[in-house]
A and B are shown apart, each in its own frame.
Chain A
């Protein structure tokens, strides 16, 4: 019979073609910079990462999670069994039955995908991705019927040359999509690249409930600083780009995309794929970068990315809020890639846009972004008589002031926090003028040399004194001190003031008389929430103050950025809307009268929104206003 000799040829032919394509793909990744990975341990951990960690993210959309389990599980099982039965000729009615079951499961999943694709949301890519559910249906149906036929479970009268020929054509088409396409860059590429990406992920700490958010240090003696060409990425970053399924969840949460700035995280990753494989973006069928046409970008592995593939404004639009990374079911690291390319622009090209040049020059010359007199850093506390750690030698808490010292609005937060600490009799001290900018902005603007200089200076200063922990009101400084100074030898116990105040409250150290504030919502700062996983302490502080938080639709790990991170207000790439306006609209939607914040940068951004709008109050201010002040004896 036709199927007897044609089926193995089809199956093994498709497998061979897939392997050839896959090898080419692997070679394309390996053109990237060397980065050691634990090969065996990674491969061993992969099934767990896929079934647990990745599924955890995918499950945020239950429908698609179940659909994917049916389709992918059905496909893998059906293919493995088909190889045994049709490829190697193992004749077993049990196996035949299992093939039928798997193919049926796959068919049901494919139907659900086809259903979802009838009128797909804008975040989904079209083109070949619209073809995929049809290919899945054709493959599963053909395999089902062919198995019925070869197992002789089919009414004999119906089997004819024409019919079995049609089935074989269907199976061939299905195999072309499922196997050949997997190796040669079709939509199914995600299965093979994704599996390896999970095995060789650059941040294995992210699996098993962990977190890894600090940027990787740049070797300042590299022959090219940062990423100029696709091959300057680490090879497993290139692999990560290929894992993208173009689901557009990143696009849906990106604040820059929503503001009409020329950034779309999904398109950026697809452009990286164009760069690593060579070609143009004409084959991209998703949403464009706002305001930029699709089809004009060209790239290849040896070409400088910003010269024709991705425009510099796209890279500078990012607020590094990490919403895309948090949302990505493939755990792709968009922010790492963006900062890597920014490093090239700043440190090789000298092309930091907007006020970025001025800010970096100021940081180099005065250790603060405003270029203000470093000898006046401590002036804000002239009347507070704060203990300098240089005088007292040691303290329980080192209060890290941050650059808020130079900003009048932030000074109100700092003063409020000092009042809270004094009320609780905290043993604290400050660095005074010895403190420098943490280096957060310099690093996100791509100037890792300045970041590393500031980090080393601060670590050297901190090393002189004894303290149990660092507490700061600035989540950016918090993140840098806690997660990025470790690479330079600075290991500290760092707390954000929300965590610290919450501790004081739990210990009953604060005598509070809550005031009525009306409806209050809480805005999660990206660098406290997504970067450090701290969602509970601020809410707990607010509830102790008797406030019932009116949660915005986008809160917690899905909080929308205020627009103030990553140097975005400094580079100031134009868009249609301002991110801060959209965030305040979120608060208006829950009819909040007060937005509680926990970051001076968020305060500045949200207060920059035109009134009437909810008032903006830092947690420290809310707590200090509720303090019961005892008359001094």
Chain B
């Protein structure tokens, strides 16, 4: 039943869809690239309508890494020209408001810069549209409503009915983006237009330093049947065990850690 409804609504109706794209950053080389989640948003946008979606970026039109989005088979990318220190939200909201769009897709959060994940919410708020976070697919669009699937932890999905137009962020569990081809990427055009953007005053006062990844606790399930171990491995973490040791000598602390490691089976 599902594929049928998809073919009916997805192919026949020309929807106006926009994807907001940012300049990403490779986690290891720190090199600029197409952001993975934004690319997934573009991939989803491409699958929704026979008409090509529009791509929108706030920043510099001279950034060559934006071309990787064009390499997914798009002819055109619209850049709202702005400096790095501006707040993208008002610029986007005023531009999107003029475009008579049905759906605006974004990634969940940017790969560099502030990366707070608030942008889709703020844009939707200014437009007065609903926001659906973390969708993985749009199942059908009919009668001014879209049925979307939202990603929940551990592979669960929630079906939601949303009135058009709406803003949605695309979860990393959505279809991975297609390969970006060099030829179309070079030939696509990047059009820039000025926009009235204000510098982000709040951010100007912040201090920034690199985040430190925190190590995760290993939960090793022992014994029981295979099904029980599977359940233990996939279940939501219930209240954390362990203890916080602030008192005592370094030796005592080290012994406590060692005992724990032995108990977990990390050290034999």
A-side residues, CB < 8 A to B, are 220-221, 224-225, 346-352, 357, 360-361, 364-367, 371-375, 447, 449-450
Contact = CB atoms under 8 A, between A and B. Distances in A.
Given A350-B71, A350-B72, A373 B179 contact: no
Nearest to A366: B29
A366 B26 CA distance: 8
Interface stretch (B13-21, B122-130, B182-190): B182-190
Interface in B144-184: 178-184
Interface residues of B, number: 16
B33 interface: yes
Contacts, number: 50
14 contacts: A225-B183, A346-B182, A348-B181, A349-B181, A350-B180, A350-B181, A350-B184, A352-B179, A365-B28, A366-B31, A371-B28, A372-B28, A374-B28, A447-B182
A352 B180 CA distance: 10
B90 interface: no
Interface in B112-127: none
Contacts of A366: 26, 28-29, 31
Contacts of B59: none
Contacts of B72: 350
Contacts of A350: 71-73, 178-181, 184
Nearest to A357: B179
B181 to A, nearest CB: 4
Nearest to B179: A350
B22 to A, nearest CB: 16
B184 A348 contact: yes
A365 B179 contact: no
A224 B183 contact: yes
A225 B184 CA distance: 10
Nearest to A365: B26
Contacts of A374: 28-29
Contacts of B73: 350
Contacts of A360: 179
Interface string B240-259: 00000000000000000000
Given A350-B71, A350-B73, A365 B31 contact: yes
Nearest to A373: B28
A367 B28 CA distance: 11
Contacts of A348: 181, 183-184
B182 A449 contact: yes
Interface centre among A350, A373, A447, A450 (most CB of B within 10 A): A350
A372 B26 CA distance: 11
Interface in B73-121: 73
Contacts of B181: 346-350
Contacts of A365: 26, 28-29, 31, 33
Given A350-B71, A350-B72, A220 B31 contact: no
